[in-house]
């Protein structure tokens, strides 16, 4: 039986309408399970203050209680427009959290020049209430030039003692592809305890991980499926399938894709989770949440019943302000593994 034949999709379900949000969805939610079985979901949005949101609830009501979390920039710039987004997290056995982050350094006087984007690491030692940014672990070849090289990220997968983090990357002329970097889990744990960064290697291609993560352009890691994937999305390991899953959005192409892999390097199968009118809607910031509690506390592993949550968000350049980037209708689909 093929992997795809075991994946059963429920119908899209509207979770929350745009008018019920008092902030703009600007990143995937980061789920962390509380001792009582409820979920604490972190969300970063730099569209309006406050930037760092926290919600506590269940899979059927993730917005039951609202609050905030904090970010210590640790000397990294945070002038308006720039900042750090926590996009994925990993929980170590003693509760320490590694945060895989997206960082933007936007030119303060001329938005068309000097913009730089990074993937970075943060640490939390209090369950995700306070994070400390430790630095950048990946960059791209056109940072600081007349491009807007948004690296997206950071879908996280964990396999055989390695962290794999996925993001958009750019070559010297600004062409974009999805690549990845990896680092040892044990070395990362030691580094975070000392407030430093581990050794990180960007994907070179053909199963080789040797490239400079800050300068070299990573090899394309996703197959050509007729769409242009963007990594503002999430990753998870599905135990019943024995597969690693990545969601990817396609911006103006209006598709939300789900890729499958046995080894975090070859993604040979995919399906379409959602289709929207091309040029009008996009589905960034998807995330996974267990439907039955059979999962890890950091939502990096799931069992046979889980949701993919995703917004339908307007494309700012094609729609009036009322239906632009700040328009968010949040949906979910139940996935059941047969």
Closest Cα partner for 101 from 72, 121, 71, 74? 121
Encode pLDDT of 105-131 as tens digits: 988 767 667 889 999 999 999 999 999
Distance CA 124, CA 91 (A): 10
Encode pLDDT of 11-27 as tens digits: 999 999 999 999 999 99
Distances (CA, A) of 263 to 208, 306, 325: 13, 21, 35
The number of CA neighbours under 13 Å toward the Cβ of 199 is 6
Backbone angles phi, psi at 94, to 5 degrees: -90, 5
Q: Domains in the chain, start-ordered, CATH in brackets? A: 4-337 (2.115.10.20)
DSSP for 39-79, written as a single string: EEEEEE--SSS--EEEEEEETTEEEEEEEE-EEE-TTS---
Kindly report each contact of residues 112-117 with a partner whose C-beta sits within 8 Å and lies 24 or more positions away, as own/partner: 112/146, 113/146, 114/144, 115/143, 115/144, 115/147, 115/148, 115/149, 116/143, 116/144, 116/149, 117/143, 117/149, 117/150, 117/151
Backbone angles phi, psi at 235, to 5 degrees: -130, 160
pLDDT score recorded for residue 111: 67
pTM of the model: 0.96
Asked if residues 299 and 236 have their Cβ atoms less than 8 Å apart, the reply is yes
Distance CA 249, CA 282 (A): 7
Alpha-helical runs (H) found in the chain: 185-193
pLDDT score recorded for residue 275: 97
Interval 164-187 mean pLDDT: 96
């Amino acid at each position: 039986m093929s992997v795809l034949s075991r994946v059963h999709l429920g119908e899209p379900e509207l979770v929350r309408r745009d008018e019920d949000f008092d902030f703009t969805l600007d990143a995937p939610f980061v789920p962390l399970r509380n001792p009582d079985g409820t979920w604490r979901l972190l969300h970063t949005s730099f569209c309006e203050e406050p930037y760092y949101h926290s919600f506590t609830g269940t899979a059927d009501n993730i917005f039951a209680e609202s609050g905030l979390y904090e970010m210590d920039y640790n000397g990294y710039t945070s002038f308006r427009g720039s900042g750090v987004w926590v996009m994925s997290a990993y929980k170590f056995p003693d509760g320490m959290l590694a945060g895989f982050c997206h960082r933007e350094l936007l030119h303060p006087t001329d938005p068309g020049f000097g913009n730089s984007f990074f993937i970075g690491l943060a640490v939390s030692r209090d369950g995700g209430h306070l994070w400390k940014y430790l630095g950048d672990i990946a960059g791209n070849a056109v940072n600081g030039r007349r491009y807007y090289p948004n690296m997206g990220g950071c879908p996280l997968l964990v396999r055989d003692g390695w962290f794999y983090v996925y993001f958009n990357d750019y070559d010297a002329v600004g062409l974009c592809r999805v690549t990845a970097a990896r680092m040892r889990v044990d070395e990362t744990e030691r580094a975070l305890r000392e407030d430093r960064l581990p050794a990180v290697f960007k994907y070179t291609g053909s199963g080789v991980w040797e490239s400079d993560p800050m300068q070299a352009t990573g090899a394309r890691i996703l197959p050509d499926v007729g769409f242009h994937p963007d990594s503002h999305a999430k990753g998870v390991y599905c135990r019943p399938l024995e597969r690693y899953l990545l969601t990817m959005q396609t911006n103006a192409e209006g598709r939300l894709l789900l890729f499958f892999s046995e080894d975090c390097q070859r993604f040979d199968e995919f399906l379409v989770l959602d289709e929207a009118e091309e040029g009008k809607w996009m589905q960034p910031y998807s995330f996974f949440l267990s439907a039955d509690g059979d999962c890890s506390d950091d939502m990096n592993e799931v069992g046979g019943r889980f949701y993919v949550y995703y917004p339908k968000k307007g494309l700012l350049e094609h729609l009036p302000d009322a239906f632009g980037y700040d328009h968010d209708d949040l949906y979910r689909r139940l996935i059941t593994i047969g």
